[in-house]
Amino acid sequence: MVDLPRLLSAAEHVVGDTDSDEDLRLLLAPGSSLGGARPKASVRDRDGQPAIVKFPHKDDEINTVLWEAVALRLAAKAGIPVPDWRIEHVVNKPVLLLRRFDRVQGQRPDLSSCESGTPAIPGGRIPFLSAMSMLGASDNYPDTGGF
């Protein structure tokens, strides 16, 4: 697996506005554009499968990483499919590792048999709409009902 303490440090530097070129190279490596406001990175798990690691943010008033784990556990207990996940402690801070839900054994599933008939793109993502896109909302403009 990648060096999680180094990734955590790089994420903290970016959030704290003290990042170096090396921090940015590490976090913006090819294929790591995950989007969103939370610090995260695309990694390979111990068995080589793609995963996402989510880090705490220096301004968190609550332990968002652990609360996301609680939400995942509750969703699973309610019968809602969730990706495989686990909490790891890196430099005494919890990080959340999630298996990529849009990959099967590191590859995009073949969608050619889906109703859309869209052929699979090797190494690509399963297309999906975010809640924000479906609602036509934007997080940059409060008057549009952003989150």
What pLDDT, on the 0 to 100 scale, is given for residue 23?
80
Residue 133 has pLDDT above 70, yes or no: yes
Dihedral sign of CA atoms 121, 125, 127, 132 in order: negative
Mean pLDDT of 63-83: 95
pTM: 0.61
Give CA–CA dist 40/7, Å, rounded. 9
Q: Which helix (H) or strand (E) holds 50?
A: strand 50-54
Q: What is the largest CA-CA distance in the chain?
A: 48
Could you give all domains of the chain from N- to C-terminal order, each with its CATH number? 4-101 (3.30.200.120), 110-147 (no CATH)
Whether the per-residue pLDDT at 147 is higher than 90: the answer is: no
**pLDDT grade for 95, boundaries at 50, 70 and 90:** very high
